[in-house]
Structure 1
Amino acid sequence: MSAEPLAVDTVTALVAEAGAAPSLHNAQPWSFRYLRDLGVLRLYADLERALPRTDPDNRGPHIGCGATLLNLRVAAAAAGLAPIVRLLPDPASPEFLAEVHLCGTGAPDAALTRLRPAIHRRHCSRVPYHDEEVPAPVSERLCEAARVEGAQLLFPGAWHVRSVLDLVQDAEGREALDPGMRAETARWTCTGPSGAAGAAGAADGIPAEAFGPRQRGTSVPVRDFAAGRAVPGRGWAPFEKHPNIALLGTAHDQPADWLRAGQALERVLLRATADGLVASVTSQPLEWPEFRWAVRDPVSAMAHVQMVIRLGYGPDGPASPRRSVADLLDVL
């Protein structure tokens, strides 16, 4: 394998794949800097895209940047590369989250390569799913996807699922009473379709067609991004009575753990997509310290839940807006 630095066009293509990752409110809080003479790509958190009221610790940008880093690794492996990644390489620069030496020696990661087709097929689906369990072999593959990234995926039992659903509802009620959180949600969502005028614009945020219908008579962990605002044409629908819920978490709760959780989250979502599942994620009950503590399973080794994931079989979600690579990448 050649150790020559990659051409800018190749790096641009890799960053385009990386930018398809999920993030809190689809804020896409990441930026890249390519040091072409060294063949090094640096990943930074763009904290201007953070949600300080909803996420005061900036856990969300770290998880989102972890997800984009996983996509980058997948795209690099599919391109025949074996990148070497260092997390948090400079303690004096907390926004500098990862350094990726793109031309590392060794064979590309074959398991990551196989996930490449799922990058642009993966979309958050906030519509009703079928009332159908996820088969054990599939759930085991999802748990392994989290494990190889240094995180844990847990499918809680029925009583715990009901508890999580109650906590989601409680968190949503608190959010509805918090003007600061409502304002952040409004900033990153648009009650019109993609491309309509609104605070989020057409390159980021969540358009109305991605909200999904309102829930009727059931409770699943899907955030209502309308936040009490009228959405033309949005209806109601019954969701699944027994949603398949998974908790993604880590043993510790520091920035490096959030980055690992983000990589694990995206690996789980890509594996789920490859296996024919759809998914939606929410951090809503994790945004309140007293609720976050209660979400965890007290008999598991998962000390800190980082994301609640809903999985199942159903319609794909719509593609969300994406920032251009020109907006994400600086070349030096």
Structure 2
Amino acid sequence: MVTQQLDAKTVTALVADATTAPSMHNAQPWHFRYVAAERLLLLRADLERAMPRSDPGNRALSIGCGAALLNLRVAAAHAGLTTDVRQLPEPGDPAQLAAVRLARPEETARVDDALARLYPAIRQRHTSRHPFDEKDIPDDVRTTLVEVAAAEEAVLLFPGAWHAETLLDLVHDAESRDATEPEGRVDLVRWTRLGTDADTAVDGVPEYAFGPRRRDGKAPWRDFAGRRPVADRGSTAFERRPHLALLSTPGDRPADWLHAGQALERILLEATLAGLATSLTSHPLESDDLRRLARDPMAGRGHVQMVLRLGYGPQGPATPRRPVRDVLDLD
């Protein structure tokens, strides 16, 4: 069967949607190449954007790329395309993370409607570093989030009160280490944008997305400013009983990290459609000893890949994105 080629405008739009995904410190550690003759979109890790101190094994980098991969699948479904994804297609090249073959539904299987319905949330989802309301999340919403995580071969757990307190203690321990080990903030300083740099940034976390300082409350929160002054930032009270969730995978290898990233973004998009604001913290997962303690104390299985905070509140501002021309090569 002769297949219709996709034009550059379509491929560029798909990649633009893919790159709205979250990544650690908004480093956007991805690069795409489109092989037109094969209708193949290749996703590669941009190792120049790795964080050797905070993420020495590139676990968080892979999760961010996995999130971009999920967005690509959603955008393709919305455009009436099917996707055949091969993770880690080149065993000898670990930076080659995925190969995605794009096709019209009449050529292969039908479009995934469950993914297509998430498309409006791609541009609506932003990380919120603001306080949320002390309002419960409905059980049916929690159930849906658990189900979409499972669809991506991951597990989402809403911890009980005791476990949640443990997670908050681990976040506090991570914050204390930053205060006593300044070299641990090197990656954060590299990827934050202050002053006039925030207005022209195409990556990193600009100061307008830091959120207010936490005056009170227990919500997990990373101070991106540190001791650096930020004008008109202010401080406020955050929620005392934050709604946390743990995203885990059975294994802890590169393929698992890609599954975790896809599950993470699918959860975030579904939560956004449900009217929830979301934020993420990998802070207590950046040290092996703290990460082990983040596991479910009852089951004790799986590997925690991300801590999520969910709630009702401001969605947070959009953070900058690199131009598509900088992250896409068209063959």
Indicate the TM-score class for this superposition, using the shorter chain for normalisation: over 0.9
Letter in 1 for 2:140: P
Corresponding residue number in structure 2 for 1:129: 132
Corresponding residue number in structure 2 for 1:111: 114
- Deviations along 1:85-124, one digit per CA (max 9) or x if unpaired, are 0000001001000000011611110000000000000000
Partner Cα separation in structure 2 for residue 243 and residue 197 of structure 1: 32
Partner Cα separation in structure 2 for residue 228 and residue 52 of structure 1: 23
Secondary structure (helix, strand or coil) at the match of 2:97 reads strand
How many pairs align? Answer: 328
TM-score scaled by length of structure 2: 0.96
Structure 1 unaligned residues grouped into runs of 5+: none
Corresponding residue number in structure 1 for 2:75: 75
Corresponding residue number in structure 1 for 2:212: 213
Letter in 2 for 1:264: A
Aligned residues of 2:193 and 2:201 also touching (Cα < 8 A):
no
Letter in 2 for 1:256: A
Corresponding residue number in structure 1 for 2:276: 277
Corresponding residue number in structure 2 for 1:238: 237
Query: Relative to structure 1, is the Cα distance of residues 7 and 301 closer, same or farther in structure 2, using a 3 angstrom cutoff?
Result: farther
Residue in structure 2 matching 1:156, options 156, 159, 164: 159
Q: Root-mean-square deviation (CA), in Å?
A: 1.4
* 1:51 to 2:51 alignment: yes
Greater Cα offset, 79-88 or 216-225: 216-225
Corresponding residue number in structure 2 for 1:62: 62
Secondary structure (helix, strand or coil) at the match of 1:120 reads helix
Indicate the percent of aligned positions where both proteins have the same amino acid.
Answer: 56
Letter in 2 for 1:51: M
Greater Cα offset, 316-325 or 297-306: 297-306
Structure 2 unaligned residues grouped into runs of 5+: none
- Deviations along 1:171-224, one digit per CA (max 9) or x if unpaired, are 0111222333212111101233xxx227x9510000111111111121211211
Partner Cα separation in structure 2 for residue 157 and residue 226 of structure 1: 31
Partner Cα separation in structure 2 for residue 276 and residue 221 of structure 1: 20
Which 4+ runs in 1 deviate beyond 3 A? Answer: none
Query: Relative to structure 1, is the Cα distance of residues 302 and 138 closer, same or farther in structure 2, using a 3 angstrom cutoff?
Result: farther
- Deviations along 1:29-59, one digit per CA (max 9) or x if unpaired, are 0000000111100000001011110110100
Letter in 1 for 2:311: G
Partner Cα separation in structure 2 for residue 266 and residue 301 of structure 1: 24
Corresponding residue number in structure 2 for 1:289: 288
Partner Cα separation in structure 1 for residue 212 and residue 161 of structure 2: 25
- Deviations along 1:42-87, one digit per CA (max 9) or x if unpaired, are 0000010111101101001100000000000000000111110000
Partner Cα separation in structure 1 for residue 55 and residue 200 of structure 2: 22
